[in-house]
Amino acid sequence: MSAARPIVLDVDTGVDDACAILLAALHPGLDLRAVTCVGGNAPLPQVVSNTLAVLHTAGRDDVPVAAGADRPLLAEPHDARHVHGDDGMGDLGWPRSPRAPETRHAVELLRDVLRAAARAGERVTVVPLAPLTNIALLLRTYPDVAAGIAEICFMGGAAHVGNATASAEFNVFHDPESAAVVIDACTDLDVALRMYGLDVFYSPVVTRTEAEELVALDPTGPAGLGGRLIAFQCERFGADGGTIGDAGAVCAVIDPQGLRTEPLPVRVELGGSWSRGRTVVDRRDWTGDLAHDPHGQALTRVDVGLDVDAEGYARLWRETLASAAGRR
């Protein structure tokens, strides 16, 4: 059996961030080395509390957690509690963890983990599931960490649709300057960048019945929490199923063949009354248009997710949580 893949998460927990943390913490093919937090779906203190609670439920109090940026670089913060509940995690009243976060800032924790990996001849997959503020600060402050990064697989952006606005996906909209910095820095530092955006985000779905089955397996454990998070979505949106959302980006690390990507030029729109925060994905293939574009083509090519094995990723998530119930 091959060694587990080293991974770090950067989160704004968040219902679907919680689903992602459970998967990364429990899957035997992953070695979760740290989780860092940023303000986004909820204010930073609530994000940290939620993150610690999820890891505690997964039996992973060994994973260091650190608080990072509490607001975007330039923009005013706008949380998404209208989607995730007042506490950011479905208002489940889920038990809190007894431990406190690291005293190190999130950027310092990421720096230390990535430098240690580089010294050991390893590379870590960085999976941001939140506004990219921490990652932008990391790459510009400590560019040497690129030696310890296998790739950055981020949940954010879209080629075709928006959710925070008609043009923009929430994570990029929340801090578009940071997203632009990360894309630019990955070009400078030769870091591979993969985008798990809204084009695939909603596709892996767990049904209400499947969620109830998870809760029945282990009501107070990871399966119970995961099932309740899906059930919350079903109630919030009046649907028969809920997406695993951010957890799909973790699935893409475990099973990269399940995500169809194309290397495409990407820019982030930083102005525009209606389009600020949009990821402008260039899918043109005619040199005539390209030659006459006064902006030219974006220098950075991102592996943009355009199609996903939705059933396979949903099954991977369910089975990982169910297997954990069998080990308790």
List pLDDT tens digits, range 62-121: 999 999 999 999 988 888 788 888 887 888 899 999 999 999 999 999 999 999 999 999
Q: Looking at the chain, which runs of residues are DSSP E strands?
A: 5-11, 30-37, 65-67, 124-128, 149-155, 193-196, 205-207, 241-243, 259-268, 279-281, 301-308
pLDDT per residue over 158-184, tens digit each?
A: 999 898 899 999 999 999 999 999 999
Contact 10, 49 (CB under 8 A): no
Q: What is the mean pLDDT of residues 16-28?
A: 97
Q: Cα–Cα–Cα angle for 193, 101, 129, nearest 5°?
A: 25
Overall average pLDDT of the 318-325 stretch: 93
Q: What is the chain's length?
A: 328
User: Tell me: the pLDDT tens digits for 237-288?
Assistant: 899 999 999 999 999 999 999 999 999 999 999 998 899 999 999 888 766 6
Cα angle 22, 24, 27; round to 5 = 95
- Which residues, other chains included, contact 197 with Cβ-Cβ below 8 Å and sequence gap of 6+? 155, 156, 157, 158, 159, 169, 279, 304, 305
Residues 180-199: tens digit of each pLDDT: 999 999 999 999 999 999 99
- Which pLDDT belongs to residue 286? 60
pTM recorded for the entire structure: 0.94
For residue 291 the two structure tokens come to: 């030659």
How would CATH label the architecture of 5-202+241-306?
Answer: Alpha-Beta Complex (3.90)
